[in-house]
Copies of this chain bind each other. A is one copy, B any other.
């Protein structure tokens, strides 16, 4: 009886848990692994994506790999050319401007909402990451922590729809670090901006937080574009 009851209860729980447990279906694993490859800058922008090679590397057939490519194309990381294969989405300076401009709109709203809705846990996490950022100014770690910081801030809005789009944009921005050299000066300046952001956040000063987040984003975008301009002077 009790055993049956326990079992049934567990079954019900399992159904739900099972649905959420990322019972990763191979092609979804591939999406993650391929995205990681792209974010690690292993392939140059515009480079052809070696389908056969990746099949060997991931030990899968072409079907799940191609499914993964479709998903990554929808997310904007790869570009599919009919009958001509997939390439790593090339970096177009014009699009970078648009990317940052759009992200600025979201950053602004993140400031407004996070100031209103951040939980104690959100604040604790932000303080943690912020402290780590202070003690890890070296590029590889700093970049990762920076991602975590802004992700945590976006999560504090308690809006999953916003969070998902924001994370996607952040990842697209993250790719750029391989085409532009990170300027140590910009890193220092960036941290100062984070300080100001934390001050506004702690005070739950929503308008200021929004303004500082958007300004931080704009400055980062301008730094990226400046770093890119001399590299591609064109005609």
Contacts and interface: CB of A to CB of B under 8 A. Distances in A.
Contacts of A165: 102, 165
Copies of this chain present: 2
A101 B66 contact: no
Interface stretch (A105-113, A133-141, A201-209, A222-230): A105-113
Contacts of A160: 95, 98
**Which of A102, A106, A160 has most B Cβ within 10 Å?**
A102
A151 interface: no
Please tell me the size bucket of the interface on A: 20 to 34
Interface in A45-60: none
Contacts of A81: 19
A61 to B, nearest CB: 12
A98 B98 CA distance: 24
A24 B80 CA distance: 11
Contact of A162 (B23, B70, B80, B101): B101
A37 interface: no
Which 5 A-B pairs rank lowest in CB-CB distance, beginning with the nearest?
A105-B109, A74-B74, A98-B161, A23-B82, A102-B162
29 contacts: A24-B82, A25-B80, A25-B82, A63-B63, A66-B67, A67-B67, A67-B70, A68-B70, A70-B71, A71-B71, A74-B75, A95-B160, A95-B161, A98-B159, A98-B161, A98-B162, A101-B113, A101-B159, A101-B161, A101-B162, A102-B109, A102-B161, A102-B162, A105-B105, A105-B106, A105-B108, A105-B109, A105-B162, A165-B165
Interface of A: 19, 23-25, 27-28, 63, 66-68, 70-71, 73-75, 80-83, 95, 98-99, 101-102, 105-106, 108-109, 113, 159-162, 165
